[in-house]
Each structure stands twice: as C-alpha cells, then as structure tokens.
Structure 1
C-alpha cells in the first residue's frame, strides 16, 4: 500500500480502499451544495481573520455546487453570525472583531445576491427594522431569501421611524410588511409599527428574537405571523396572510402604566447614574443600558409577560459580567423600583427580575 502525506485527501483506508475526501465548501455527507459543520467552521475561520475573499469563495462555491440561496444565507451566514454574537458576549472577541466579522458577512450576502436572478412575480413586500434597531444583517438575509422565492422586496433598512413606514405603505401599497426586531426592549416600538400597518390594511410578518422565544410576543402586538428564519418568512408569505382588522390598539394589562414608565425614561437614567456613579468613560454605556432596561420594563407591562424583563436582565447581566460589574444591574433594578412605587405592575416586574438574578448561577 502506498504511503501518502497525512493531509492527502486520496489516502487509503487500512484495507486498501480509498478514503473519501473530507467535506468542504459545496461538498459534504448531505450532498452537493449542502452546508456541513465543517463548512461552517471554515467560514467562521474566515470571519476570525476578516478574510472577505475566502468567505465569499465558500459561499459562492456552495451556490455553484447546487446549494440554494436559503442554504447559504440561513444555514451558513446566519448560523455563523450567531456564533459571532456569542464570542462577543463571552468576551472572546472584541467589539472591533465582531464589527469586522459582521462586515464580511454583509459583503457575502451582497455577493450571493449578485449571483441570483429573482422573478419578482409573486407580489411586493416591504421589509423594515423596528425604530431604534440597528442590527440589519439578519433582515438583509431575509430580503435575499424572500427575493429568491419570487417576491419583489423593498428593504427600508435599519431603524425605520413609524411615520416614514406608514407614508411608504400608502405610496406603494405592498402585499405585506416584514418587520425585524432583534431586541425585546424594542417591542413597544414594534407594536406601534404593527398597529400602523394594521391601520393601513397591510399584514405584518414579524421576525427576530425581539418577539420572544418561538415568537410568543408577536401576536400580543398584533402581528399576523412570526418566523424564526428567512425560510419561515418565505413560507408564511406563500400562504394566506390577512391583515387583522383595525380596531385600535391591542388591549393590555396596565396599558396606561407602560406609557407612564416610558415617559420617565430620562429621569430614571439620571437617577441610576447618580446612584452607581460610573467612571467617566462608562457613563454613556451605563446610560444606554438603563434606557434599554426601561424600554424592556415598558414592553413587559405592555404584553403582561414577566419573562420578558427576566430574560432581558439575565442577558444584560452576562454582558456586564464580560465587562466587569454585573452587580450594576441589580442596582439599576433597585433604583428603578424605588422611583416607580406608584406603578404596581412595574414594581412587581422589577422585583421578579431581581429575584431571577439572585438565583443566577
């Protein structure tokens, strides 16, 4: 039996039969063009090195091998981006590394888009990110998967103000709106956008973790459906999707209270800053965290689900841990509770969040 180099893909098994080539871009145990764990690892290595050319070769190689746009963007780019987020959250990657990797994936999405020729024969949909939401890569992936499924898609970009969305709907009359929300703290704004679309008679398909695990909060703010992935968005658009009749805002427990809490956002930020007295170089960061906390509290009251604030607090505690000082979050919750004693739902939700943090491993 001929000896071969250890990395020779044609090396033989001990019985003399040829060993199969290791899976690579466009090649794997699931067939041509399928995304394997090995391909994802190779792509992540490209992101780690911010190697745009190599990352693009992997993505376009999958297309050349017969993979679909959804295969490449959902199973490769989106999966890798979740890992990028975890590496930043755990402190393994800096913000600069995360930004560089995200930029590479954004360019890869553009390269995949350039290789497709959509038919635009199924209708017109508009995609927007919730106002205040600046994470647009996931939305961009949805754009291309839905476009590849035969829809004409107008992407309005990140952080779209409600009034501009409404104006555009009246000007263009799309068949549906796809609304992306990554952070649950933006759920109140998402609800306002959904309500505006309902008033215009346009159904909304919601997407993103901001609508909760399994999209449980999407219907609470009036969306007609929710999809976990870009594939789900294309599937939902293909079926009957009717805009709920406009009957005014969706009723909720403590409706007036969540509005009152939002009006106190600036005061609460200042109260917390005085209490925790962060270093000068962290004032802006801590102020931003408090503002998001108040938004998450308002959203929790709006949909009457204490789990929203609990999960937000746990996530934010992990972020603060990575930057030393998770105990700051408990101080924030305590100060907000003391300042909102006239709002019983707010106080109860803040108490639950503090209790959940106290039992956090």
Structure 2
C-alpha cells in the first residue's frame, strides 16, 4: 500500500514483524507495553528515544509500534483485562511518547521538506483524538505545515479557522459512528468554503462506505494512505451541495423522531428492565448509571443507522456490545430484552423495527 520495501524486525519472543521503509530493527514491544500500562512515562519515552537513536524511522515508530500499542490498549479494555482508568492512564503515557518522538532530532530532520498546509481535526463530539494526532505527526514528518486542532472541534470554529488559514485540505477524524451526522455537517461546510475534505477513522467504515455516502472528497484507511493521498493532491470541491441530497431516506423523519425521543425511550426501557429482571432492581446507583449509559449508546447507534440507512452499522455495534457485556458477566438476555422493548416502543417506524429485529436475532458470540 505504501509502495515501500518491507523488511522484518524480531519481536521479543523470537517471531518477526514486518516494518516498512527498510527499518529492519528490533523493538522491545512487551517492554514498552509494560511501561505504558504501568504508567511509567520516563521508561516509555526512553525506549522510544533509544529506538530513534538506533535508526528506526519516526514514522515507523509512530504507526507500527505506538499506534499498534494504542489499539492493543483498546482491545484490553473491551475484554475487561484493564479498567477504564487504566485505559485512560495508558493513553496519556502513549500521548507523551508521541510528543517525545515529535521532539526528537530524527523527526526534525525528516520534516524539513515543505509541501503545503493541512488542517487536522476531530469531528464535533469526538474525543478519541489519538488517530488524528498520529496523522498530524506523520504529515509533519512528510513536510506539511499542520494545524492540529485536536478533539471535539466545534464546526463553527473549525470553519472559521479554514477561512482564516486557507489550507490545502481538511483531514477530519471520527472514531465513533454516532459522530457521522456531525461529520456530515462539518465536511459540507468545509466544502462550501472551498476546502477539500479527506475523512478517516472507524466511524466511516472499514471500506469507507460512510465517507462516500456523506460526500467526502477522499477517504483514507490509515495515516500512511492519508499522507499519500494528500501528496498526490485532492481536487477542490466542484461546489457546495445540500446534505439532504446525499440522504433522501431521511424524508421519512424516523431519524428525527428517534433522536428527539431518545431520553424518554431510555427511561422506558430501563423501567421495563427493572420490571422484568430482579438483578436489575438490585443494582447500585453506579450500576444503574452504567446501564442508562449503555441504553443511551444503543439509541445513539440506532439513530445513526437511520441517518445513514445502514442497518449493518447497528448490528456491528450490538455485536461489539455483546462482547463487552459478556466479558463483564452481563447476560446476553439483557441486551436482547432491551432491543425487543425498543422495537415495541418504535413499532410504528418500519425502518427502526427492521434494524432492531435484525440485531435482536443475532446469536450470542456473533463476530463483531
């Protein structure tokens, strides 16, 4: 994909891992993992600096080591092997390692070539900024002037920034599918300002289907592909378009009705759970809050499935939710009951009923 040669680096257990860009150098993966998970910022940054001093390219370190480690942190949380506090602390250490890589002389040397100006930002409401941060650092390494705006970038402020700086492109990141409506608003407004928009992140689907649906000018599956697309140049938007033209199915108003009644629906389903299941009635206040949050996430993902017209988006979320809940010893019966209760409440909305029916029929353990 990158068009570079691939050599191999040994893992601590003796197996080999491919590294692009000719970097056949060993890296102590498990030692870095233990440092990050243990909150040992000094050790983690020292390991990264030592690798750079030994000749490992900064981009390789960022994407193939640090990026892979961040994904491992997420998987460990989902499997209930680490707590959310440990996940946050490990991510904070990982961010400090990224900063150390960016400040290393090897990174300064790599980014001497000047290309143009790119704005990198997360969609309004998106707090998962790590992928966008990695992209920003990779683009800087490749010679771009980067305006990295970080997490949760309100669309009006983002557009004001684009008018003020006139970048060559906007790279917009979203990890959660529930941010797609906000992404649609942002990319449409940026295009109206004459700035081409490349999107990336898990929210847009593994094949970029939601990027195409929402009218993005380009989609990249990872930071390397994004850098290569930008190097080739993204054509400027032909002209502004109306978001409603992208999604004619919204005319049935189901998305609006579900979104506006979300809080009421969450309360109704929680009452039904408490009526049906004795263990739920005995929940602590914290357990009850977590359950309400889970129900809210279900409603949010149902709404975005209606927004995009993609029922698979919702079933992928509920399959993942099953895995997370089962790892925490929460019976699958609870999720199926919640979906069924929602379907009853939304029985007059045919698209909602179809989406909920398909998700409730999925067997426990279906691949997410």
Question: What TM-score results when the alignment is normalised by the length of structure 1?
Answer: 0.86
Task: Identify the match of residue 327 of structure 2 among 311, 316, 322.
Answer: 322
Distance 2:224 2:70 in 1: 17
User: In the alignment, what sits opposite 1:170?
Assistant: 163
Deviates more, 1:66-75 or 1:117-126: 117-126
The structural deviation recorded for 1:358 is 5.2
| Separation (CA, whole Å) in 2 of partners of 1:329 and 1:84 | 25
Aligned residue in 1 for 2:344: 338
Superposed CA RMSD:
2.5
Alignment partner for residue 106 of structure 1, among 92, 95, 101? 95
Structure 2: how far apart are the matches of 1:359 and 1:321? 9
Map of 1:145 onto structure 2: 138
Summarize the alignment of residues 88-237 of structure 1 with structure 2, pairs less than 5 Å apart: 88-115=77-104, 116-117=107-108, 118-119=111-112, 121-237=114-230
Check the 8 A contact 2:115/2:143 in 1, yes or no: yes
Q: Distance in 1 between matches of 2:185 and 2:24?
A: 40
For 2:65 and 2:84, locate their aligned partners in 1 and report how far apart those are by CA, in whole Å: 22
Q: Deviations over 1:128-177 (max 9, x none)?
A: 11222211122111110111111111111111122221222222222111
Aligned residues: 338
Q: How far apart are 1:29 and its partner, in Å?
A: 8.8
Partners of 1:29 and 1:199 in 2: CA distance: 42
TM-score, normalised to structure 2, is 0.84
The answer as to 2:257 corresponding to 1:252 is: no
Q: CA deviation at 1:298?
A: 2.0
Separation (CA, whole Å) in 2 of partners of 1:316 and 1:120: 45
Q: Judge conservation of contact 2:120–2:149 (CA < 8 Å) in 1.
A: yes
Kindly state the Cα deviation for residue 48 of structure 1 after the two structures are TM-superposed: 2.8
Would you identify which runs of 4 or more consecutive aligned residues in structure 1 move more than 6 Å? 21-24, 27-32
Whole-Å separation in 2 of the counterparts to 1:231 and 1:110:
19
Unaligned runs of 5+ in 1: 1-20
Q: Which moved more, 1:263-272 or 1:136-145?
A: 263-272
1:311 matched to 2:319? The reply is: no
Residue ranges of structure 2 left out of the alignment (5+ in a row): 1-8, 275-279
Q: Secondary structure at the match of 2:170?
A: strand
Aligned equivalents of 1:276 and 1:264: distance in 2? 18
2:361 — aligned with what? Answer: 355
C-alpha distance 34-178 of structure 1, shift in aligned 2 (>3 A): farther
2:219 match: secondary structure: strand
Alignment partner, residue 268 of structure 2: 271
1:296 aligns with 2:297: no
Measured at CA, do residues 190 and 34 of structure 1 come closer, stay the same or move farther in structure 2, by a change above 3 Å? farther
Contact 2:159 2:189 in 1 (8 A): yes
Q: Counterpart of 2:6?
A: none
Higher Rg:
1
Q: 2:11·2:29 contact (CA, 8 Å) conserved in 1?
A: no
2:128 alignment partner, SS class: coil
Q: Deviations over 1:242-287 (max 9, x none)?
A: 2433221143252132222212222222222222235221233222
Is contact 1:74–1:229 with CA below 8 Å preserved after alignment?
no
Greater shift, 168-177 or 253-262, is seen at: 253-262
